[in-house]
Chain A
C-alpha cells in the first residue's frame, strides 16, 4: 500500500555509454591530534543508471566518508580529499568550484541520513521544508511547489498527504520522518540518491516499509548508493555490493554472487558475525589498521608475508560475473580453496537450514 506509482517518476532513457557515477582512486585523509587517518584509501567503483549499489562495512571502515567525499559534504578540515577522480554523468566532479558543486548537490545527487529528525527543522512544517527544497533548485510559484510537495509525500507513502503537509516534524514517527527526508531528497528529482544507514534507527516492521519505498525508487529508474552495516538490508536492496574495510574495498560483485560465496576473509568474518557468538573476547579495537597492503592482515587467519606488500592486493576474479576480491590468495600463485573451505560454515542462514527439531 506504500508503493508509489512508478509512472510519476521521470523515466531516464538518456542512458549513454558512460556510467552515472565513476569513482577512481578516491583518497580522503582526516587530520586528528593523533595523526592522519587514512579514512578512504584509493577507492574505485561505479554506479550505473537505475542501479542500487550497497557499500557495506563496520563503523570506521570509511563507507560514510567515501560517500560524503563525492559531493564534498565531508567537513574540510579536518578531512581533505587528497586524490582521486570522480566522474558524474560524464563530467568531472572533483576540482570544481563551490557554485558548481552546489548545483550538483541536491539537484542531481541527494543525500539522506540515519537520523531523519536531525535533517528536519522542527520549527517549519514538513511542507515548507519540501517547498524550500523545490524552490532552491527551481523557480516555481509557491502553489505549484506545494502541489508537488504533496505529490512527493504521496510518492514516499505518507497517507493523507494533503493534510499532513502542514504538520511539523515532531508529529511524525521516526519511520514517517525518514519518508519526509526522502521526499525532500526527491524534491529536485535527483539522478542519484545516497542513503547513509537510512533504516538503522527504526523497527524492523518500519524498516520493511522503507525498504519498499527505496525499492520503488530504484524500480522507477533512480540510482541508489546505499551505505549500511547490515548485511540483511544489503540482501534486500542491492544489485551490487562493495565490502569496505580500513578505507579500502576488499570485495565487490553482484549481490547474489557475494552472498552465496563470500570470498574475502573479512567478508567471511562479517557473515560469521551474523551466525555465531564470537569467542574472540580478546580482540582489541586499538590494533593499528595498516595503511598499506591488505588492511585486514593483522586480524586475518590466512595472512601470509605477501599480504603486507604493495598498496593493496590486486583484485582477482572469484566466480560469476564481475565478482572480484582484493586478496593475494586468489592471485595466480595463491590457493583460495582453504579460504573457501573455511567459509563453508559461514554461509548465510537460509530457510532450509532453520529446522524445527520436532
Chain B
C-alpha cells in the first residue's frame, strides 16, 4: 500500500453524496429507451400439501438502471447473481414480482395481447448456446424468417429477400438459407442467431452470454459484428456476460450484480479502471493479468456465496468483503481486523481451512487454529481476543455452530448494520458503506489491492 493509494481512498470517502437522492440508485439516461426501477423477482419456497410459502429466493431484489437509445449496458457478476433472471424479467419471459420496467415510455408489466406482442417484436433475445437456439430439422432460412411469419408477414418472396439480405449482413451468404444448422460452425450459428434477432428491426437486444460458447478470434468477430450492427441500426443492448474482457470492449456502461442487487454501475472506463465497490475489485482482480509477471489474485474473506433465500443483513457482500468496516471501539491493526473478520465469516460459513478438520479423528489445539487462520497468539483488543479464544475453544470441542454464534456477537461489523444506499462517487453509483461518510466505524484505507 502506498501513500498515493491511501490518499485516493480518503478522498473518495470525503466526496459529497449525490445531490438528488431519488436519482442516485442508477445513472439516469438523457434519452432512455429502457428504464428499470426496483425490479424484483422472488421465487417462493413452498412446503407441504398446501404449498405454504416458507421462504423466498430473492433472485432479483430491487434492480434499477437505464439504457439509452443505441447504448450498450453490460451486466456482470458471478453465476447465481441474478443477471439472467433480470434479463428474463425485463422481457417478461419471467413475471417480475415487483418494480417496474418502462420501455419507450410504456410500462412493460401492464402490457397484454397485441401490445405485448408488439413489445416482443421490438425487444429480442440472443442466448449463449447457438446449438440450442435452432431446430435441427429446419433450414436456417426458414428459422430466420419464422419471426416474420409469426408476426404476420404473409408474402413469402418478401420474407426470403429480407432473410437473404440479413444473412449477407451478418457475414454469411444468401445461399446459406438453404442449409441446415449442423452444417455451420458455432460462430456461424451465432451469426445466424443475430440475423434472426435482427429480422424484426428491434430497438433492444438482450444478449445473454452471446460469446461465451466461442473462443479467440471467432469471439472477437461476433463481438465486432454485434457492435457494427448496434451502431448501424442504433440498437440498445443489454449485454450479460461473466467475461470482463468482452464487456470492456463492447459496452458503454456496466452494472455489477451480487446476490440479486446492483452494487456498482457507471461508465465502463471508470468502473473497470478504478472500481470502488470491494466486490467489483475482487471480481476484476480475479481475472488473471495478461502480464505473466503479475500473478497475484485477490482472496475474498470466504469463498462461500451466501444463499439468496437468506441473504446477509446490511451489505450483502460483507461476509466476503476484504474491506469490511471495523467498529470504532475495536482496536486492531487493519490486517489483524481483516483476519479476525475472515475467521468469523469462515466459521459461520462452515468453511474452515482444510488443515482444521473438526470432523476428523485427531484433537485440535488452539495454536493449530491460530496458525491456520494466520491469527496472532494475542490480539491487542481484549474483548476481541476473548471472543476469538472462546470461539477457538468451541471449535476444538467440535461445536462449530456455537463458535459461529460467539463470533457473530463478539466480532460485529459496521457493514451488517444497515443496507448501503447507492451513492454517486467519482462518476459512478456504488452501494458501499465505505463511500458513505455518514457511516460510523473505521474504513481502513485500502486493505484491498488496487485492480490490475
Contact = CB atoms under 8 A, between A and B. Distances in A.
Contacts of A205: 78, 282-283, 286, 300, 303
Interface stretch (A41-49, A76-84, A97-105, A266-274): A266-274
B295 interface: yes
Contact of A229 (B215, B292, B297): B215
A209 B187 CA distance: 30
A207 B352 contact: no
B354 A154 contact: yes
Contact of B225 (A211, A272, A281, A355): A281
B113 interface: no
Q: Which 10 A-B pairs have the closest CB atoms?
A: A348-B290, A236-B288, A58-B216, A273-B220, A278-B220, A278-B224, A154-B354, A229-B215, A232-B288, A208-B286
B122 interface: no
A2 B351 CA distance: 11
Nearest to A165: B359
A154 B186 contact: no
A235 B288 contact: yes
Nearest to B354: A154
Interface in B250-281: 250, 269-270, 272-274
Contact of A285 (B188, B269, B358): B188
Contacts of B79: 203
B357 A204 contact: no
Contacts of B300: 205
A161 interface: yes
Interface in A200-238: 203-209, 211-212, 215, 229-236, 238
Contact of B273 (A58, A282, A354): A354
A280 B217 CA distance: 10
B351 A162 contact: no
Contacts of B295: 215, 235-236
A214 B219 CA distance: 27
B289 A58 contact: no
A231 B291 contact: no
A356 interface: yes
Contacts of A150: 357, 360
A255 B292 contact: yes
B354 A204 contact: no
Contact of B354 (A59, A161, A229): A161
B224 A280 contact: yes
23 contacts: A1-B299, A2-B303, A2-B354, A5-B355, A58-B217, A59-B216, A160-B358, A161-B360, A204-B242, A207-B288, A211-B288, A215-B295, A229-B216, A232-B289, A256-B292, A273-B220, A277-B223, A277-B249, A278-B223, A350-B290, A351-B289, A354-B272, A356-B274
Interface range on chain B (Cβ under 8 Å from partner): 35 or more
Interface string B118-132: 000000000000000
B358 to A, nearest CB: 8
B357 A161 contact: yes
B290 A349 contact: yes
Contacts of B297: 208, 211-212, 236
Contact of B221 (A163, A229, A274, A281): A281
Interface string B210-222: 0000011111110
A159 interface: yes
Interface of A: 1-2, 4-5, 57-59, 150, 153-155, 157-163, 203-209, 211-212, 215, 229-236, 238, 255-256, 259, 269-286, 348-351, 354-358
A239 to B, nearest CB: 9
A58 B354 contact: no
A154 B355 contact: yes
Contact of A159 (B286, B289, B354): B354
A285 B224 contact: no
Given A159-B350, A162-B359, A269 B289 contact: no
A233 B291 contact: no
Interface in B290-316: 290-295, 297-300, 303
B224 A160 contact: no
A232 B274 contact: no
Contacts of B355: 5, 154
Contacts of B303: 2, 205-206, 209
Interface string B225-243: 1011000000000000010
Contacts of B223: 277-278
A122 B42 CA distance: 30
A157 B299 CA distance: 14
A18 to B, nearest CB: 27
A154 B358 CA distance: 13
Contacts of B294: 351
Nearest to B77: A203
Given A159-B352, A274-B245, A281 B171 contact: yes
Given A205-B286, A259-B290, A350-B290, 4 more contacts: A58-B218, A276-B249, A277-B227, A355-B273
A282 B187 CA distance: 12
Nearest to B270: A356
